[in-house]
Chains A and B, each alone.
With several copies, the nearest count.
Chain A
Amino acid sequence: MQFAPHTDDDVREMLAVLGMSSVAELFDQIPEDVRLGRDLDIPLGLSEMELVADLRGLAARNRHTDDLVCFAGGGAYDHYVPAVVWALAGRSELYTSYTPYQPEVSQGILQALFEYQSLICDLTSLDVSNASLYDGATALVEAVNMARHATRRSRVLVSETVDPRYWATLRTYGRGTGYQPEPLLADVAGGTSSNPSRPEIGDDVAAVVIQHPNVFGNLEPARELFDAAHAAGARTIQVFDPLSLGVLAPPGDLGADIAVAEGQPLGNHLAYGGPYLGIIAARMQDVRRMPGRIAGETVDVDGTTGYVLTLQAREQHIRREKATSNICTNQTLMAVAATIYLGWLGPKGLEELGRQSHAKAAYAAERLSSLSGVDLAFPDTPFFKEFAVRTEREPDAVQRGLIDAGYLAGPVCEVGPQGRDGRVLLVAVTERRTREEIDAFVKAFEEACS
């Protein structure tokens, strides 16, 4: 493959203008000792048809979710991606453009981002959003940074029932900004204790973070926790599931100051974990602490409505070391997809999707828990579309058995600090799963357990 269009004549003519006789001269300035005196040790280039054959070969060695029936969750979900989403997000004027620095020729992306922000605020009952962050976990990092700046406090309390991937990511970035997240203890019911005392939410606490629905799919006593946090002057941060909000009370109503989410379920393919998008929304009080690009409406010199990137003084390209974040390239295209997806879903679709996912998960949970050797890990705690099961057999073995039968479940998750309370298998059920599939899954589960 080669996309440089130069003919030999072109090269000659261009070199002539430069007064050179060879392309090598252009690189003369590179000192000999740092020049690569050999070819790179990678194969010769391929024709397109060879490349496609190579990638088909690799793809054929993956099993995928059109093949394995997907009951896996843990933060990425097999919701239906309607055809319209990528037919439109895949328009090349959109996907081959860059950050809309020149708004006059970027109204498409800018307006789409404005609509995305609007939809996220509609969803969360919060005031402001942005043009996307990398993913859910890094969005939480940004939310924590916002909270620490806003409160000028340092400590960060994170529920134990927040996804361990988020914990791990916070720990990584916390080492840079100077904190380490501390656990808010979960109780045996698989949710955060609604009466947090240890460690107390003192007046040095910048943020209290919960995930609701939590890592096990369980519903959290979010209101109580946020009330307690607010009483102590902390910012409240919720990790939420955007597709739960047709049926669950939104972060804004629960008292979250900042809400973050993995945006994948909104029309983005599973794609082995990316590209997804990090959603963030906050209250107006924190608008100037928001990370990343924000689109805003304004008018042009003729008074015509148009959109621009705004509040750029928060950002790295202006504020540099004082910026609210270092983010530059983000996940805009995924935000555009999410916008189209939410437009497709509409309020009724959102509600119905939530109802169906919940009902199907409840049905699957009931059926699974009737199997011998299988118990719900948290039988008394309500959940949304995902739940944890304890199996007598090693959960990894159960997961493997299910794969052999054509089903994907998981991940396997530890309960309690350092897995003190054992390991459970997560099962997620989206609107895509039919009763027939669930029944067959239950049967396969039974076999995988024995």
Chain B
Amino acid sequence: MSAGAVGAPVRRTGPPVPSTLRSLSRPGRRASMLPPLDVPEAEITPDHRRSGSVDLPEVAERDLVSHFTRLSQRNYGVDTGFYPLGSCSMKYNPKVAEQVAALPGMQRLHPWQPDSTIQGALELLWRLERALCEITGMHRATLQPPAGASGELTGLLIMRAYHTKQGDPRTKILIPDAAHGTNPASVTLSGYTPVKVPADGRGLVDLEALHRLTDDQVAGLMLTNPNTLGLFEVDIADITKTVHDAGGLVYYDGANLNAVLGKARPGDMGFDIVHINTHKTFATPHGGGGPGAGPVAVVERLEPFLPAPLVKQADESDGGRGFEWDRDRPDAIGRVHGWNGNFGILVRAYAYVFGHGRDGLKEVGERAVLNANYLAALVRDAYPLAYPDGRPMHEFVSTAKPLRRHGVRAMDVAKRLIDLGFHPSTVYFPLVVEEAMMVEPTETESKETLDAFAEAMSQVAREAEQDPDLLHEAPVTTPVRRLDEARAARDLRLTWSMGGGAAGSKAGAGVVAEPSADAAGEQPTA
């Protein structure tokens, strides 16, 4: 099978400048219609009343439909093809999960409904919590955090609450230098100071450095395992013990949980707090950038600090047999979300977890690791592994450094892959690897797809040598070619009122901004 046969249908299409809702707008046109008002009109007091109407676009339903249908065709999703974005677990999103989440008995619950009217929903959350605890080896979990980063901050605030309760609030959080950007950002928001732990020659936590850095001001360590280089931290027991011995807690960033599903559990490794990205491990769709869900599970001693409320099974002694929200949690850190998290996403995660079951989940992990190792074996000649001695787990980090001598960068490889019909891997992440290409095939891809992608990668490496401009010019087949990111950040057009939506009726000059660090090139794409 040729690489092209896996190819992506996002291609240059008709109009170079697509319409916007603004440019489609015509005064007096409309899509919505309400029933006639069947009660007396009521006045808004003049001081609160809006003067004049809102300047929203006026379009017909038919316009909306073709506009968004066309926009969708200018987008590449997992359903379109291979999407090996490292650190993101872009696996197939089961259609059945969409179907069950759309059941009126799931989709049309008001968040203020009394517990007695949502017994099915509470039982679902309760079962999901139990399963997540079993999968991670933890005691209890909150399903409130709406994403991984939110989970991180939740976990860090739990750490803070714990240490504060111990009368020893501490100041620092250790994080590997290869950590995802959300880790240090969350640390700052939790009021701690991040301290970088370097990797050693194996690409693993430098134990010596860890020992050195771990002191009584260390509130905890955040770690991904397998780590963000796709490598398993083999000294994990040692690592967690080191931190524990110093009175710290250890946080598991669950972005890479897919690799160890049913094989190893953060709890058994000594982690105290775990977040899970349902949109990675449990295949809830990424939605173009969200929503996700980031449940946080903890060991028993941290349970009191979990955000309130949690679902509990009502006391049999009270005669209760159902489920209810337990709001009475005096040590809880509070709310981390205005509601109870992304319920609709949790329904999808439930479908994934219980659909796969213990047998299916284990196979997920196995196949994910098999795929990554197989693909790594095929591409590592042209794109050496950043840590060639390590065995990758569910993803691997290669480097495009050898192509640099042809003037070719990792981003050029990525763009050329687009022309060959693939979504590229993550590039420039982790930051610690030069010209990083972080590839995560996931378990839902077939050997043929991996073979085709590897062939495309090899082809691009050959082209880099023979015709580097082919890569510099790429992509040429897409609706737009390489975009001027520096200009976007300089000449700000963030709305059509700022002169954006060139086809719009309000076109004008953009807002010129102060100089910015933005520029095309070395920005991580995960």
Contacts and interface: CB of A to CB of B under 8 A. Distances in A.
A and B touch in the complex (CB under 8 A): yes
Interface in A52-76: 52, 54-68, 70, 72-76
Interface stretch (A93-101, A226-234, A369-377): A93-101
B4 interface: no
A298 B490 CA distance: 10
A61 B123 contact: yes
B91 A35 contact: no
B375 to A, nearest CB: 9
B367 A4 contact: yes
Residue in B42, B90, B334 whose Cβ sees the most chain A Cβ within 10 Å: B42
B180 to A, nearest CB: 8
Interface string B330-345: 0001111111111111
Contact of A299 (B294, B424, B484): B484
Contact of A304 (B62, B364, B480): B480
Chain A interface residue number, banded? 35 or more
B108 A347 contact: no
A333 B63 CA distance: 20
A369 to B, nearest CB: 14
Contacts of A411: 112
A306 B18 CA distance: 9
Given A112-B71, A273-B343, A316-B185, A98 B370 contact: no
Contacts of A11: 370
A5 B362 CA distance: 14
A269 B480 contact: no
A237 interface: no
B400 to A, nearest CB: 15
A421 interface: no
Interface string B130-146: 01001101000000001
A45 B513 CA distance: 51
Given A72-B113, A76-B112, A104-B481, A322 B188 contact: yes
19 contacts: A3-B444, A9-B28, A29-B391, A40-B361, A62-B106, A64-B107, A72-B112, A89-B68, A93-B80, A94-B71, A102-B424, A103-B480, A107-B75, A118-B20, A169-B334, A177-B191, A271-B106, A272-B109, A316-B185
Contacts of A351: 53-54
A3 B61 contact: yes
B387 to A, nearest CB: 13
Contacts of B94: 1, 3, 83
B30 A349 contact: yes
A49 B161 CA distance: 44
Interface stretch (A152-160, A182-190, A336-344): A336-344
| In the complex, the 4 A-B pairs of residues with the closest C-beta atoms, listed nearest first | A59-B105, A273-B339, A137-B338, A108-B75
A389 interface: no
Nearest to B344: A271
B120 interface: yes
Interface in B296-337: 307, 333-337
A408 to B, nearest CB: 6
Contact of A63 (B98, B113, B487): B113
A169 B340 CA distance: 12
The winner among B123, B148, B181 for most chain A CB atoms within 10 A is B181
Contacts of A7: 26-29
B517 A75 contact: no
Contacts of B65: 84, 87-88, 92
Given A45-B355, A84-B61, A87-B98, A33 B492 contact: no
Contacts of A82: 31-32, 95-96
Contacts of B360: 1-2, 45
B1 interface: no
Given A108-B74, A177-B191, A298 B363 contact: no
A332 B289 contact: yes
A8 B58 CA distance: 14
Interface string A245-288: 11111100100000000100000011111111000000010011
B78 A358 contact: no
Central interface residue in B234, B429, B494, by most chain A CB within 10 Å: B494
Contacts of B234: 29-31
Contacts of B10: 93, 104-105
A418 interface: no
B353 interface: yes
Nearest to B485: A308
Contacts of A306: 479-480, 483
Given A45-B357, A320-B181, A328-B182, A97 B75 contact: yes
A382 B181 CA distance: 46
A42 B135 contact: yes
